[in-house]
Amino acid sequence: MTCSRFLLFTSAIVLVTPLTAQTVQAVQTTVDLSRTMVPMPAAKFQKQATAASSSISIDDSKRFQVIDGFGAAFVEGSAYLLQHELTATQRADVMTKLFSPTQGIGLSAMRLPIASTDLSRTHYSYDDMPAGEQDPAMAHFSIEKDRVDVFPTVREALKLNPRMTLIASPWSMPAWMKTKPTMNGGMLREDAEPAFAKYLVRSLQAFQQEGIKPQYLTIQNEPLNETKDYPGTLLKADQAKRFIGRDLGPALRAAGLKTQVLAYDHNWDHPEYPLEVTADPAARPFTAGSAMHCYGGAVNAQDGMHNADPTKGIWMTECSGGTWQKQAPLATTADLIIGSTQHWAKAVVLWGIALDPKGNPHAGGCGTCRGLLTIDSSQHPAKITWNGDFYALEHASKFVHPGAVRVASEATGSGVQQVAFRNTDGTIALLAFNAGDANQSLSLNWRQRSASVTLPAHSLVTYTWNGR
């Protein structure tokens, strides 16, 4: 555990390095992870222009969406590994590294499943009933299965980072509410919509009793995917807007809950779905915006969504790493973070926090997903491997804090992806990724000054300076 503590210590050093308006500091991670969060030489802003093959110009007077943060999902399978396959010292170190804003990377936007997902050990809802029986009064409602591992994990994360945004999402309503007597597939019956609204309200109330208060709620994970071997429900836009406007929204208001609804919770390829829901006069007052996934379509669909309804936000709520990806994990997740936020996302949330080397625990669904860390409990104590997705999140979450705003930035030259933010304390954070084989000489242009920096090949770099 000496190594883990050293990593936490060095991360803290990087975080507290003083910043000035004249000095640009930078940290680098390579795609092959041979260098992770390594400090680079500082650069100075000068009044005269600097010669470089490429440039990034930052205009922090032009400000866009407010950032909630970056994170992953509190799936039951990951919580089980954290609670049972690590020693107490390992678990404390892992949780600190994930969630502490001062000693770790400060993950601050997390998804909280309502009952089971495919990354759970079993399938369950909070109101399971014997075949043929129903429970519209919720007399048998129980959160006991998530009291074991999930809620202790969430509470520890909240203790480490109280400024956390939580997005609650069900993968399926109880089977007795559906057109098929199973959590896997089928649709929500219209006559069961009031009961489902009550179920979601009871879930949020139960979370609050556990000290957990989600700010946002989606009504169905991936509603256009009728699953076969794990919890899921086909729930089309016309039913979603009716349910939110007629049943769920009024039920949330009657219960005094301030949780706002995010429409859709699915891929970029059908932006018309969330726009239809948020435009509905009955549903609109209860919606904060849309939740998006990365598995279909292109990220620029978010531009059209923002342009069509600029008063509603966009959150990237799921994008998993996995063996199907052709790029290295750091490259894939760097592309997601930069692209999503450049196209209006207020948060970027990956999938499971932790899995074992075989992609377990999972019950159906994704057997090829990758967590932020891999826990190999065939060794004692367990071997912990931090994956490229974690380091990509670190480049964002350590330096872009809740309440930051994206600011205007533009790159010239080829092969550079970038996005810039201004934190509430005035610091500027610029994420830049070079997927090419050659180092890039960059001129950073800001407020009629420029600084000469290097963006190494196959690297993600975060540049920071005091913007006051």
* CATH number, position 278: 3.20.20.80
Same domain, 210 and 318: yes
Establish if 15 belongs to a structural domain: no
- Residue found under tokens 């960059």: 442
Same domain, 190 and 228: yes
Among 397, 429, 454, identify where a domain stops: 397
Establish if 12 belongs to a structural domain: no
Question: Taking a C-beta distance cutoff of 8 angstroms, is the pair 454, 43 a contact?
Answer: no
Same domain, 171 and 103: yes
Residue from 76, 85, 276, 318 carrying the catalytic annotation: 318
Establish if 374 belongs to a structural domain: yes
* Domain, as residue range, for 154: 68-397
**1's tokens:** 């555990």
Same domain, 315 and 442: no
Contacts of 161 (CB under 8 A, 6+ apart): 99, 100, 101, 106, 107, 108
Query: What single DSSP character describes residue 274?
Result: H
Phi, psi of 22 (to 5 degrees): -100, -20
Helices 150-160, 76-84: crossing angle, 10 deg rounding = 80
Q: What's the pTM?
A: 0.94
Same domain, 136 and 208: yes
**Other C-beta atoms lying within 10 Å of the C-beta of residue 137:** 9
Picking from 7, 227, 206, the residue whose alpha carbon sits closest to that of residue 98 is 7
Per-residue pLDDT of the chain (468 residues; tens, 9 = 90+): 323 333 333 343 344 456 766 899 999 999 999 999 999 999 999 987 766 778 999 999 999 999 999 999 999 999 999 999 999 999 999 999 999 999 999 999 999 999 999 999 999 999 999 999 999 999 999 999 999 999 999 999 999 999 999 999 999 999 999 999 999 999 999 999 999 999 999 999 999 999 999 999 999 999 999 999 999 999 999 999 999 999 999 999 999 999 999 999 999 999 999 999 999 999 999 999 999 999 999 999 999 999 999 999 999 999 999 999 999 999 999 999 999 999 999 999 999 999 999 999 999 999 999 999 999 999 999 999 999 999 999 999 999 999 999 999 999 987 899 999 999 999 999 999 999 999 999 999 999 999 999 999 999 999 999 998
Contacts of 191 (CB under 8 A, 6+ apart): none
76 is annotated as an active-site residue:
no
Question: How far is Cα 2 from Cα 256, in angstroms, rounded to an integer?
Answer: 48
Same domain, 277 and 418: no
Establish if 391 belongs to a structural domain: yes
Question: How far is Cα 173 from Cα 314, in angstroms, rounded to an integer?
Answer: 24
Picking from 13, 109, 107, 117, the residue whose alpha carbon sits closest to that of residue 369 is 117
**Other C-beta atoms lying within 10 Å of the C-beta of residue 67:** 26
Same domain, 391 and 420: no
Total domains in the chain come to 2
Among 354, 372, 397, identify where a domain stops: 397
Picking from 338, 323, 319, 326, the residue whose alpha carbon sits closest to that of residue 374 is 323
Same domain, 203 and 118: yes
Same domain, 232 and 356: yes
222 is annotated as an active-site residue:
yes
Establish if 11 belongs to a structural domain: no
Query: What single DSSP character describes residue 67?
Result: P
Question: How far is Cα 340 from Cα 307, in angstroms, rounded to an integer?
Answer: 15
Residue from 76, 85, 193, 222 carrying the catalytic annotation: 222
DSSP letters spanning 108-142: -EEEEEES--TTSSS---SS---TT---TT-TT--
Query: What single DSSP character describes residue 286?
Result: G
Among 345, 364, 397, identify where a domain stops: 397
Same domain, 78 and 199: yes
